[in-house]
Amino acid sequence: MKALFISFYQAFYDEVMKALEKNHVKGFTFWEEVRGHGSRDGEPHLGSHAWPTLNSALITFVPDHVVDQLLQDLKKADESAPKQGLRAFVLEAEERTV
């Protein structure tokens, strides 16, 4: 099982949701407004006067076999406007019963 943390410019919301739906990912936790500045060439999204836009973020937990296709679908959205920013980070995850 993998955890995917996805941070994205708010305008990518529909594309991210479509990628999750296409890959049958139903469960996630979503943060509507997050601020940040990427480590690449993109523009900051700080919610300030100078940089008024914001990002969103979500985390989801998926079976290993879902990861590659989901990342490919997210990459297509990112490539449509690379300066705006969409990043996905894959982490190992272990499900435990509580």
Answer yes or no: is 60 within a domain. no
Answer yes or no: is 80 within a domain. no
Cα 67 → chain centroid: 13
Answer yes or no: is 96 within a domain. no
Q: In the prediction, which pLDDT does 8 show?
A: 94
Q: In the prediction, which pLDDT does 75 show?
A: 96
Answer yes or no: is 50 within a domain. yes
Q: Is 6 helix (H, G, I), strand (E, B) or coil?
A: strand
Q: In the prediction, which pLDDT does 63 show?
A: 96
Answer yes or no: is 8 within a domain. yes
Answer yes or no: is 73 within a domain. no
Q: What is the domain range of residue 22?
A: 1-54
Whether 61 and 96 have beta carbons less than 8 Å apart is answered as: no
Split into its structural domains, the chain has a count of 1
- How much is the pTM? 0.89
Answer yes or no: is 28 within a domain. yes
Q: What string of pLDDT tens digits covers the 98 residues of the chain?
A: 999 999 999 999 999 999 999 999 999 999 999 998 876 777 778 888 888 889 999 999 999 999 999 999 999 999 988 778 899 999 999 988 88
Answer yes or no: is 70 within a domain. no
Q: In the prediction, which pLDDT does 56 show?
A: 97
